[in-house]
Structure 1
């Protein structure tokens, strides 16, 4: 009787071990499958560009190509502080897409935003400016672009006013307008929003409220948000100059 009890207990233990082993194997296989899926499709953007009419000026092309070159390095999403300003370790956030894209076109936003904060502190809600991080904040880039670039339409149905290399600003997010379009001719956006997005270049133009679409001064175009082709800062300075000349 004792031998039967021992054999039964031993058999239960073996079955329990087999069950646990099977569960562990299944868990490992699931994790491996998820990891493979993420690594195989994570953040890849096609190098083949569409042949269409939505490319802009040479400068806009530089911005677009700069954005594509940056995401082509497959940066991983993580917000960190860098003493040199620009991330150099393979990590980044949405503002780094724009900063690197603009740098490819000859605009160093780290320097430009810092200079604008010093020159116009009232435009920025910053207690202690920090050159290394200020240009990597969406709200600061929004102010800088409004002060130094042309404000365009935010209506994605106005498809002809969207060109590759423009900058698009959402609530707490920013990206570069692609030359790729969906079936309705709404542009894709090159951006970096979180660690789990499948590609850097996505059809998100109508997903969230767009606050601004901007274009650098030499890019030309129309539909300035203040009713003119003049950026807000220059418009303010022009009005102050006119007021000083004619009304004092």
Structure 2
């Protein structure tokens, strides 16, 4: 086998970073054109302003974790309180804060050494993981805004990052639901936005998930109940996974 000295983590980060930026820019275009940020979103008690405030606060937390890890609080602040404080800001100020913050975060994650871990709410992560995590959160909270405005959320190839996190989050899903963690392999087959098939793990796995990547991402980010997706499962554990699926605690 030839070793080309290729750092796959570096490749993954290089591929994901433009997608993170694009995801933020797409949501930016939507909310910048909407004058009324007091419109409610599907998240109880959260308006469009709350959603943007949450994203801005999370970006600020990433910068603290990266730049001054010793000052990073291990326990997250109350998300409702933080979002409410940000939502109280003038719309133009909040939009500027979010735009500036996400740009700085993208640059910081681009320049961070790949082997340099930093704290993140009871654990440690690297830039390779944080880039898709920020993309996933931007996409998920963006979905709430799209739903609030009744606007279609066009699926893109960027969903592969979210879907990958969802697949990796299987153990987390069972753990959070206080269920035994299945030990046998699962196969996931998702149809991407352009009709391509995205697959994970063995061909012969008895536990199987099939459906569109968009539906899978909606489910693992808990933006849609299972009954409102076209996802199908083969195997008891696969069905249970879809019932409890999540990518965050």
| TM-score under structure 2 length normalisation | 0.25
Larger Rg: 1
- Which has a greater percent of strand? 1
RCO higher in 1 or 2 (8 Å CA, sep ≥ 6)?
1
- Which has a greater percent of helix? 2
